[in-house]
Structure 1
Amino acid sequence: MSLDPEKFEAAVKQEEAYLRKVHPTADDIPGCMSLFDNFLLCHVVNAQVKSLYRYGRMSECSQKLEDFKFCMSNKSLHPEEKRDVWIRRRAEWWATRRLTKSSEDIWDIRTEPLKNYPPSLLENVDPSNAIA
């Protein structure tokens, strides 16, 4: 499935802005050891059984390994540069996730509130049933 480049870049910008707020300093991004731990935890029996129950297949841990390898490839960067490339990578991942459909997507994102919701209590009152 191909993504519209303009929508994708707009989504990446939104995700980058959000991630920069959530991870304001270089110390806030995960370290390589925590990413390696996440990769190892993906292979434990509990995670495999949960994945089998939820999705009907074993856990796919390749993305977690790729995250660890990406972190290791950035070890020589300045901490702020490392944060920037990590944020860009995560923003691209989230943008792709947002713009493609998955079996987990059951709700559409609402951009504005529903009209006349919640309904007024007076709208639902039948005057013929009112207690005098």
Structure 2
Amino acid sequence: MANTAFQNAVKREEEYLRLVHPTPEDIPGCMNLFDVYLSCNAIRTQVKSLYRYGQMSSCGDKLEDFKFCLTMKMMHPEEKRDAWIRRRAEWWAKRRMTKSSEDVWDIRSEPLKNYPPPLPAEEAQVETGVIQ
């Protein structure tokens, strides 16, 4: 069941990526991927990651993208595009099917009852400025 759901997700992602990258020239080149890898390792990026997440940024996936691009150098441009789209579709499908930081929140269909709680009479008098 899970494998079928994953394959369906990959198929949907491939369809979308084929629309986004209609020609082989639309996929990123190896130099572009290398630049992305280097910028991931830059001090500014690492400090921002340390501030936001409490840990250094992992750039291994960007290095793997660069190495994958190098393995495709001798392929025909259409084959290269297909291989790139397949790889990115699998990456997006995995990302969509696993847990996310957005999974922490549950969307409410109705507001909480009795929230905010009513103020005690003394606090209500102080806030409104009316003291009896």
TM-score (norm: length of structure 1): 0.76
Runs of 5+ unmatched residues, structure 2: 110-132
Q: Does 1:52 align with 2:50?
A: yes
Runs of 5+ unmatched residues, structure 1: 109-113, 115-132
Deviation at 1:54, TM superposition (A): 1.6
Larger radius of gyration: 2
Deviation at 1:103, TM superposition (A): 2.4
In the TM superposition, what whole-angstrom CA distance separates every residue of 1:75-112 from its partner, at most 9, and x where no partner exists? Answer: 0000000000000000000000000002254568xxxx
Matches of 1:40 and 1:74 in 2, distance apart?
Answer: 20
The aligned residue for residue 27 of structure 1 is: 25
In the TM superposition, what whole-angstrom CA distance separates every residue of 1:35-70 from its partner, at most 9, and x where no partner exists? Answer: 000000001111101111221100100000000000
Q: Which of 65, 68, 71 matches 1:70?
A: 68
Give the AA of the match of 2:60: S
TM-score (norm: length of structure 2): 0.76
Q: Which of 76, 79, 97 matches 2:77?
A: 79
Aligned length: 107
- Report the RMSD for the aligned CA atoms in angstroms: 1.7
Give the AA of the match of 2:78: E
Matches of 1:37 and 1:77 in 2, distance apart?
Answer: 22
Give the AA of the match of 2:34: F
The aligned residue for residue 97 of structure 1 is: 95
